[in-house]
Every structure is written in structure tokens, then in C-alpha cells.
Amino acid sequence: MALQVDGYVVVKSNNRRECNFYINYLRTQAVVVSPIYSSYLDNNKSINDSIKYTIKDRNLANKIIREMFINLNESLIDEDKFGWIKYNERACQWLWLKLKIMPTTEIEHTYSPYREHSQFAYDNFIQAEIAINIKDKYKKIITFFDNWPANIETKEIKLNQYSCLWSMAYKNLLSIDWLDENDIAQCKWAWQYLNKHGLNINYITPLSDLDMYGSVYASLDIWEAHIDTKKLFLIDFRKAWVQKNYRDKHAKDAKINYYISKSTKKKIDKLVKDKGMINSKLIEYLVEKEYKLTYEE
């Protein structure tokens, strides 16, 4: 929505994406605007004041603002088109990583309002702020497309390409059924295992214990390997966890090697079967029983 004050066409918007677009557009016109504030009223004031301060010619200022409004409608993708990632954390994590590692050579129009040059398009269009959770990553994805100075048709084609790639990847998504999201120690071990085997990438950095679980899945999803290779990896992954569990469980146990007569072995086998015990538990039971009889009674 636009109106005039003192002969100037002014910006009046309560939409954060629109305000962000105006700020970036004006930078291309050598109009420096302060970063976005939490209040849209502050945003509007900052934008309008910067225009008046920088461009003294009202006609020129109004011309730039009207062109900016036209460019807005030809630049921002409707948020509904991001629906396939908004309610799917795994898809959102996947697309965020895809954008993070996309080289600038893969797309056109890589002017950066934030950095002079980066080999990654994401760094060109996104301020150097950490995405703490999945909501932050969703916002960063939208900001990436908003800040990318290409026309809306080019942006929608790129977004649709990613949507199709995710649809194909979705058919082969694998589940780590033994990994418990609420078991922080297990998730940490899983993440370290991926590090050790070089599966995860440098762009995935868990920011908290709770982020470990999603990072493990993100590493698996972004890994461009054949489905059979992934399945074999998961088999070894699970075996490694079972072995670790077994070692931890028996860390305080003493290993004993001994020889017994075949007749005694048969008796042990019968006792094991009848009492429903494993060999080690049966021996512990018999030793404890004999110890009490000998020394405690």
C-alpha cells in the first residue's frame, strides 16, 4: 500500500518480507536503510526517512519507489508454494542444506547485499546469522528466495526443481528405528559415529543436544549415495550401536575362561534350560548361593 506525504510516495507495510525486499532494493539504488526492526512502524519510518535523506529530488524518489512496488510483485514467491517444507521438518532441513551448499555458478544474478563475493549462493543472500532451529531454517529459505535478485518465474522454477528432487528422495527415505530422539547420549554417539566415518558434511553443525537427532537424519538425507549403499551403511551403523551397548553393559564384568568336564557342561546346560538363565547368570547364581551357605550362615 502506498500514499503520499509532503509530495513523497511513502512506504506503508506491516509485512516483514515486503520490508526486507524494500531495504534490499533500495541498497541497489545507493539508498542505505537500517536493518529491519521488530516493529513494522519502525521499518516504515526507517525506509521513508532514508529515501528522503538520500534522494532530494522528489520526482526521482517517487519514480524509484513506484518501480520498487512493481518489482515487489515480480519478485516474492507466494508463501503457499513453500507448503511442502513448512509442515515437514525433514524436507525443510534437506532444502536448507541444499541451498547452503549450492555454488553461485548454479544460478544467475548473484549480486550480494551482504558480502562482496562468496562461492556459495546462500552466503551471498543471507546475513551471517545462525539458524538455531527448524523455524529459523524455514525463514532463511524464504529469505534466500526473497533476496535472490531474479524474476519470480526463475525463482519458482528453481523451487519446483527442488520440490521434484525431494519427491524422488522421499520415496527412498530410510528410518533409523533404534535411534531415540529423547536419548541424548545415544544421539551424541550416533553423531560422532557419522563424523568418524565421514558421512556428515561441514555445513551441518548441531547447536544443541536436542539438535543431534535431526542432524543425524539430515546427514543421511543429504548424502548422495545409492539406496543400497545407504542400507548397507545403516546395517553397520546398527551393529556398531549394539556392540557399544553390549560393551557398556559388561564394562564392569570380569571375563573368565575355564575348562570343565563334559558331564558338568551337560548339567549346566540342563540347569540353564530349566531355570531360563544364560550361562553367566547361572554361574553367578550358584556362586552367590554357595558363598552365603559357606560364609554368611
152: Cβ contacts below 8 Å, ≥ 6 apart:
74, 75, 76, 77
**pLDDT by 10s per residue, the chain, length 297:** 456 656 668 788 888 889 888 888 888 888 888 766 667 678 788 888 888 888 888 889 889 889 989 988 889 999 999 999 999 999 999 999 888 888 776 776 555 555 556 666 666 666 656 666 888 889 989 988 998 888 899 999 999 999 999 999 888 889 999 999 999 999 999 999 998 888 766 778 787 877 889 889 988 998 888 999 999 999 999 999 999 988 888 777 677 777 888 888 888 888 888 888 888 888 888 888 887 888 876
CA proximity to 194, closest of 173, 179, 215: 215
Could you give the C-alpha distances from 141 to 7, 78, 193, in angstroms and in order?
37, 13, 29
Own/partner contacts of 186-189, CB < 8 Å, gap of 24 or more, are 186/241, 187/212, 187/213, 187/216, 188/212, 189/241, 189/244
pTM: 0.75
Residue 112: all three cell numbers together: 550480494
CA proximity to 51, closest of 91, 97, 12: 12
* Helix or strand holding residue 246 (H, E): helix 227-249
Give bridge partners of residue 10 from the DSSP assignment: 3
Number of H helices, E strands in the chain: 13, 2
DSSP letter (8 states) at residue 2:
E
Euclidean distance between CA atoms 67 and 74, whole angstroms = 11
CA proximity to 17, closest of 148, 158, 146: 146
Residue 268: all three cell numbers together: 549346566
Residue 164: all three cell numbers together: 521434484
Residue 57: all three cell numbers together: 529530488
For the four alpha carbons of 217, 219, 225 and 230, in that order, the dihedral sign comes to negative
- Tally of CA atoms within 13 A in the half-sphere of 72 that contains its CB: 20
Euclidean distance between CA atoms 20 and 146, whole angstroms = 8
The whole-number pLDDT of residue 108 equals 66
